[in-house]
Chain A
Amino acid sequence: MYGWIWRQLPGPVALRVVEALVLFLVVVGLLLFVVFPWLSPQLPFNDVTTG
């Protein structure tokens, strides 16, 4: 999977490293600010009220 992604990235190695880093940060950002805020209330870890 990661080998395949690496081979799709265009440009010389130095540029690919930057591209891979940007791709990684985009995925982490999507998880932290879109996926997890949606997921968190669906899970039962944070129910603090009674009744």
Chain B
Amino acid sequence: MSTGTPVRNSHRQPPPGRTAGDVVRDVVRGIGELLITVGMVVLLFVVYEVYVTDWISAGKQREATAALEDRWANPRTAQDRPLAGEGIARLHVPAFGPDFAFTVLEGTGDETLATGPGHYADTALPGQPGNFGVAGHRVGKGAPFNDLDLLQSCDALVVETRTEWFVYRLLPLAGEVPGWAEGKGAAERCRGVTPLPPPYPEVPGMEIVDPGDASVIAPVPGRPRDSALPPDAQAQLITLTTCHPKFSARERLIVHGVLVAQYPKGSERPAELVEG
């Protein structure tokens, strides 16, 4: 960095006697500066992934929520399936705090998931028999599912649609199934939560699977989609998927819940929304 005219001039017109050492020094300094610059750019990318995408997604999520509430207030006629990218429901997770709620959008494209959790388009809708499958980011982009690994069995996942509240609860975790009915399952908040009966395979409340394992969002989790039960024999399930471990996409963290209660929307909010 120049501090005065004489120094600057000496830089502009290098003395004729530039030695080989001067050239080597310039090259080495250039490489050093380049490496430092690359390091700073990589750091900036981490800041972008973890923080900047959060700010961008927060704005998109706000817009999606406003649009959803507007549509709930002025429903379109005869709309069966929602359009891709549109909000379809609100997901509340009281275990993460009474204010934790995200607008779930239709579809699982990149742009949709940058706005909020996305509903796998070919899975059941909230409250329907089958499996309401939802994907969400774990780090950055709003990170709706950041703390999914902290959920315990019987924790509530409350889904709000235009007309109903659906209260799902996490199924027993692996290892909790033996003695469930007399043990944890006897607690008041676990009412309605039991290991799924046959022909369901054991579906734990939380599991970690390979990225290619699509069977976790099948109507009967763990079974191929086409061997599903008839719809009226299917349990009403919810499945949340996100990446695992954090900052990686090596595996997927999966959470399964079962419908335990359902209320028409009125003036009262369900008591489940404020439990810890």
Interface string of B79-116 (1 = CB under 8 A from A): 00000000000000000000000000000101001000
The chain B residues found within 8 Å of chain A, CB to CB, are 1-2, 8, 11-12, 29-30, 33-34, 37, 41, 44-45, 48-49, 52-53, 108, 110, 113, 118, 120, 135-141, 145, 209, 211-214, 216-217, 241-243, 247-249, 252, 254
**A residues 11-47 with Cβ under 8 Å of B?**
13, 28, 31-32, 36, 39-41, 44-47
Identify the 9 closest CB pairs spanning chains A and B, nearest first.
Answer: A51-B214, A47-B249, A1-B33, A49-B135, A44-B249, A36-B48, A48-B135, A48-B242, A48-B243
User: Contact residues of A with B, CB < 8 Å?
Assistant: 1-3, 6-7, 13, 28, 31-32, 36, 39-41, 44-51
A28-B44, A31-B44, A32-B44 are known contacts. Are A45 and B49 too (CB-CB below 8 A)? Answer: yes
Nearest-CB residue, chain B, relative to A41? B110
Q: What are the residues of chain A within 8 A of B252 when measuring CB–CB?
A: 48, 50
How many Å lie between the Cα of A39 and that of B48 in the bound state? 11
Partner of B247, one of A1, A7, A28, A45: A45
B111 (CB) vs chain A CBs: closest residue: A41
Provide the bound-state CA to CA distance between A44 and B110, in Å. 12
Q: Are B45 and A46 in contact (CB under 8 A)?
A: no
Asked if A49 contacts B2 (CB within 8 A), the reply is no
Given contacts A2-B33, A40-B53, A41-B110, contact A50 B248 (CB under 8 A): no
How far does the alpha carbon of A12 sit from the alpha carbon of B152 in the complex, in Å?
Answer: 64
A1 vs B139: C-alpha distance when bound (angstroms): 35
Taking chain A's interface residues, is the majority helix, strand, or loop, or is none over half, making it mixed? helix
Q: How far is the CA of A31 from the CA of B109 in the complex (A)?
A: 23
Q: Are A1 and B30 in contact (CB under 8 A)?
A: yes
What residues of chain B lie closer than 8 Å to A47, measured between beta carbons? 211, 243, 249
Contact B217 A45 (CB under 8 A): no
Chain B hits for A28, CB < 8 A? 44
Residues of B near A7 (CB, < 8 A) are 2, 8, 11-12
Residues of A within 8 A of B136 (CB): 48
- B216 near A46 with CB under 8 A, answer no
Q: Which residues of A contact B135 (CB under 8 A)?
A: 48-50
Given contacts A2-B33, A7-B12, A44-B249, contact A49 B45 (CB under 8 A): no
B212 touches A46 (CB 8 A): no
